[in-house]
Amino acid sequence: MFCLRAIEQARLSIAYSGRNAKIVASHPGLDVGPDGGSAQALEDLAAFRAIPGMTVISPADPTETVAATRAILEFKGPVYMRTGRSPARRVFEPGHVFEIGKGEIIRDGEDLTIIACGVEVARACDAADMLQQEGISARVVNMATIKPIDRDLIARCAHETGAIVTAEDHNIYGGLGGAVAEALAQTVPCPVEFVGVKDVFGASGEPEELADHFEISAPFIAEAAKRVLARKRQ
Amino acid sequence: MFKENFATAKAPAPARDLVGELEEASRFVRRHVIASIYHAGSGHPGGALSCADILACLYGAELNLWPSGVSDPDRDRFVLSKGHAAPALYAVAAHYGFCDRHAARNLRKLGSPFQGHPHVLELPWVETSTGSLGQGLSVALGMAMGLKLRGSTARVYALIGDGEMQEGEVWEAAMCAAHHRLDNLCVIVDYNKLQSDNTNDAIMHLEPLAAKWRAFDWAVAEIDGHRHAAILSALRSASVTQGRPALLIAHTVKGKGVPYMEDKPQWHGSVKLTREQSEDALRALKASPDQTRGTGRRHCRRHRHASFPFAPARPFFSIRHCRTEHDGGGGRHGGGGSSAGCHHLRGVLPARHRTGAAFHRL
């Protein structure tokens, strides 16, 4: 949660110096809960993504965290990995294969694509269920590597579904949403809606309560999906 | 047990009834801490209980800070650098009328001003947001420098944790404060010897702590952080020290007052208190209806000092902070109770604040 304190050291002593160091930071985002805004890092993905050569990863569940930990140990180069605090819902079965730099379609759909990372992957799946009941077919992509982002997959999803929603437990600026929008701008531009914390600091409360309050829970992802669909049809 | 480089002014023993009032305030703080963490479902009881006596002395008898004057540019400043002790800060503030007693029920709740760590934008009497350890002393240092530049006689107090001193920023601030000879800055270490995961010694040892700060050119004293008379005397000595910032190493017990929490790192937090645990704690703190009221009467440093039989070593009198008449300077304002000049809250706050906040029964 206080990993931003070391941003200058990460920049100079690790990335600039070409060190093969791995930073693993727990207690990210609103997931921290009642400790409050002072402890909720909602800027880390953006900050670390801006450091040249830094690989940035945010796994979705315990299974993927284990797989990602193994992967970064074998990977050569500086890595920032954001893990969780509160118990995370399992998204993947044991044996899940993790590859740095690759996104994964975990549920197929035709009308739009929800690209999520971290705790938002499980919420994106819930949102897809809600949308299905309304006759909307949503594809869900787990984008565990925020940098380097999987441009090919993003372009393919934009091409095939024509609308994108991003979801992250992070500021809407500079994190997954920013990375996806940058990739789309240079490949297959399409309507995008961003689900994340809207450029404010967090607050005390239970994680699920905060997800509703700051509008990053499943119903808000579903709402964003409907907004993006409306823009797609225009 | 003052060490050689501390202020030479011998501090007379404070009046017995003042100590009694502060003991009552500390009991209130501890009960409030337990109740509010129980209601919140999480929190950090250990470090909040260990600094209850220090906070009671600061707010009850040292800070020149009044609920009606939290924006006064010449108020004394207090920075709770160990922000996780927020429940104790909220409790002492409730006791002395800075906020109402609903703190106990609203701690850490969504939409509440009583955030898990103090937030300057939520509560007007909080000087700076804390919670990311190591930063509070630097902010206090900036305040002290600013006050000096303005020629203000106000003082700045910061309470830091022991584990917090493992942050390098603390030592950068320590060097800077001594360099600028900030004798208006007083730092108190809540030295309970434990941190989140284990003892300080097991994680990264701090000793020889007093020698380190002395080497940084601070005036250093070591005191029993649970003896109000000792805390008051040390604060008095700090306030008359010239040319150096002062550090009080307050030896404390983590979880003080609740036997099953005392000296056990697992109660650092963030922990959930069950109803049974809370009731056990309250029993240990002897919470009963007739013991849940504090006087809530405050004595600022200047008045407390005025009551000492010796002449103060620095100009102490500035009546612009006082809301009531002083009887020509000869009155005993710090003695507690007999002088009208001490009842600063009278006429300023609603009656429920004047008597302190009653404890919420579970």
B39-83, pLDDT tens digit by residue?
999 999 999 999 999 999 999 999 999 999 999 999 999 999 999
Maximal CA-CA distance, chain B = 56
Number of domains in chain B: 1
Number of domains in chain A: 1
Task: Calculate how close chain A gets to B108, using CA atoms only, in Å.
Answer: 5
Tell me if B214 is assigned to some domain: no
Option in B41, B115, B133 nearest A36 (CB)? B115
Whether residues B117 and A35 touch (CB distance < 8 A) is answered with yes
Tell me if B172 is assigned to some domain: no
Residues of B with CB under 8 A from a CB of A: 40-43, 83-84, 108-112, 114-117, 119, 129-133, 270
By C-alpha distance, the chain A residue nearest B110 is A205
Tell me if B211 is assigned to some domain: no
| Amino acid at residue number B224 | D
Whether residues A5 and B132 touch (CB distance < 8 A) is answered with yes
Given a cut of 70, is residue B343 above it in pLDDT? Answer: no
Tell me if B259 is assigned to some domain: yes
Q: What is the mean pLDDT of chain B?
A: 81
Print the domain residue range for A26: 3-233
User: What is the β-pairing status of strands A112-116 and A138-142?
Assistant: parallel
pLDDT tier for residue A2 given thresholds of 50, 70 and 90: confident
Collapsing DSSP states into helix, strand and coil, what is residue A203? coil
Chain A residues within an 8 Å CB radius of B84: 35
Whether residues B129 and A33 touch (CB distance < 8 A) is answered with no
Tell me if B100 is assigned to some domain: yes
Tell me if B159 is assigned to some domain: no
Print the domain residue range for B350: 16-73+84-132+188-199+220-228+251-354
Query: Cα separation of B27 and B21, whole Å?
Result: 10
User: Is the backbone peptide bond immediately before A207 cis, with ω within 30 degrees of 0?
Assistant: no
Whether residues B117 and A39 touch (CB distance < 8 A) is answered with yes
Option in A5, A38, A204 nearest B108 (CB)? A204
* pLDDT recorded at residue B297: 67
Dihedral, A198, A10, B202, B137 alpha carbons, nearest 10: -60
- B329: CATH: 3.40.50.970
Chain A residues within an 8 Å CB radius of B112: 204
Option in A5, A38, A204 nearest B110 (CB)? A204
B23-44 pLDDT, tens per residue?
Answer: 999 999 999 999 999 999 999 9
Sequence-ordered list of residues with C-beta below 8 angstroms from that of A58, at least 6 positions apart, any chain: A28, A45, A81, A82, A117, A118, A144, A146, A168, A176
A172-219 pLDDT, tens per residue?
Answer: 999 999 999 999 999 999 999 999 999 999 999 999 999 999 999 999
- A132: CATH: 3.40.50.920
Option in B42, B115, B133 nearest A203 (CB)? B115
Tokens of B355: 């008597």
Element spanning A75, H or E: none
Chain B residues within an 8 Å CB radius of A213: 110-111
